Amino acid sequence: MTDNSGKILKSIHPARIVLPIIIGIAVTGFMMHREYQPGSLFQLSFTIQSIFWLLLAFLLMGIRDIGYILRLRILTNKKLSWRKSFNIIMLWEFTSAITPSSIGGTSVAIFFINKEGVKLGRSTAVVMVTSFLDELYFILTFPLIIFLIGQTNIFSLNSNDALLPWYKNQYLIFAMTGYSLKFIYTLIVSYGLFINPRGLKWALLWIFKLPIIRKWRPYANESGSELIETSLEFKKWPFRKWMQAFLATAFSWTARYWVVNALIITFFGIYWLNWDDHILVFGKQLVMWIMMLVSPTPGGTGFAEYIFKGFLAPFIPVGTGVALAFIWRLISYYPYLFIGAFVIPKWVKKHFITRKKL
């Protein structure tokens, strides 16, 4: 891991925030120029009551991060302080924001946790469990939302798409494929963590036979042994601790998805959507998340704004979708770029520059 530190630090350099910002602003500007209609932006009304809902949108993002921090402390048995947990989550989110969504910051998160004093094998197990809990939330929530909605509007851009047979609805097929892959992935992780961790270690060592990463095989062997030890500990966890970790996960993801609902109320009033519409907006974001996972751009920027505008068009006045999408990203995406860029120099100085002096 030490030999690989230079590459990891280079991959999270604060200067990398420039590309996603340029892409996001460029795509938003192009879409607004193409789809702007005179007077349409005046529909984004802002009142005294709007301040409450806008602050709620920011608060929901804060709840999301608090949930992640709580989960990290639970999974490490509070070995990590609140400050260390905050730094790790911000660095994790920053990495996710500057890399393609399909890559994310999960692999680098092991590095962050390890550098904060958690053994490498346990760091690997902790990140795997967080991934397991994230996927479990999705696997349980998605069918529940479909059951509550009772229709296929969740997979359509407009009413005409909703009338198509399921095999002709590309969004339905895309979502079901993504759901299936998530389900299979969760089964594999569950098997490796809770049933056969030795098999997971064997797979890890087999992967590290590859010439390009063979020199780190001793680290993989050590990590595999620690992972087995940590897995045994997780299997002995009481149901109460698992519920705490899952509830922290559920609060995080639910808060993240309700940001859009709060923004719609902010600019169009509390009576713009009824309760069924709010659930449908929530469900559509689950589908949007699957689509963003395959985005080749850093953090899904550009692609996210495009999907947002199209997928939530039925709930937003004509001509305001792009502007609302940009505001959504200002709250849920761009802050992590700037917070991460602020945290990284201090974190690197603490863990590398200061230690070298010592």
pLDDT reading at 1 higher than 60: no
Q: Of 186-200, 235-249, 285-299, which gets the smallest average pLDDT?
A: 285-299
State the pLDDT at residue 276: 81
State the pLDDT at residue 83: 93
How is residue 4 annotated by DSSP? Answer: T
State the pLDDT at residue 162: 60
pLDDT reading at 3 higher than 60: no
pLDDT (tens digit per residue) in 27-61:
666 665 566 555 555 567 778 888 999 999 999 99
Q: Which residues contact 282 (CB under 8 A, 6 or more apart)?
A: 145, 257, 258, 261
State the pLDDT at residue 6: 60
Q: Which residues contact 63 (CB under 8 A, 6 or more apart)?
A: 251, 252, 255
Q: How far apart are CA 244 and CA 237, in angstroms?
A: 11
Q: How far apart are CA 166 and CA 192, in angstroms?
A: 34
| pLDDT (mean) for 216-244 | 78
pLDDT (tens digit per residue) in 286-297:
888 777 766 666
Q: Percentage of residues in the chain with pLDDT exceeding 90?
A: 18
pLDDT reading at 114 higher than 70: yes
State the pLDDT at residue 330: 86
Three-state SS at 226: helix
- Beta-ladder partners of 100: 298
Buried b / exposed e over 332-352, threshold 16 CB at 10 Å, is: bbbbbbebbbebbeebbeeee
pLDDT bucket at 253, cuts 50 / 70 / 90: very high
pLDDT bucket at 279, cuts 50 / 70 / 90: confident
pLDDT reading at 76 higher than 80: yes
User: For residue 176, what are its two tokens?
Assistant: 């079901």
H runs (alpha helix) in the chain: 5-11, 18-35, 48-75, 82-98, 106-115, 120-149, 159-162, 170-190, 197-207, 217-235, 239-268, 275-293, 303-311, 321-332, 334-348, 354-357
pLDDT reading at 311 higher than 70: yes
State the pLDDT at residue 8: 62
Which one has a higher pLDDT value, 273 or 355? 273
pLDDT bucket at 358, cuts 50 / 70 / 90: very low
Q: What secondary structure, in 3-state letters, does 293-317 show?
A: HCCCCECCCCHHHHHHHHHCHHHCC
pLDDT reading at 63 higher than 80: yes
pLDDT reading at 110 higher than 60: yes
Q: How far apart are CA 358 and CA 355, in angstroms?
A: 5
0.85 exceeded by the pTM? no
Three-state SS at 252: helix
Query: What are the φ/ψ torsions at residue 39 (nearest 5 degrees)?
Result: 85, -5
pLDDT reading at 267 higher than 90: no
pLDDT bucket at 2, cuts 50 / 70 / 90: very low
Q: Which residues contact 250 (CB under 8 A, 6 or more apart)?
A: 67, 137
pLDDT bucket at 17, cuts 50 / 70 / 90: low
State the pLDDT at residue 252: 95
The rounded mean pLDDT for the chain is 78
Q: How far apart are CA 157 and CA 313, in angstroms?
A: 7
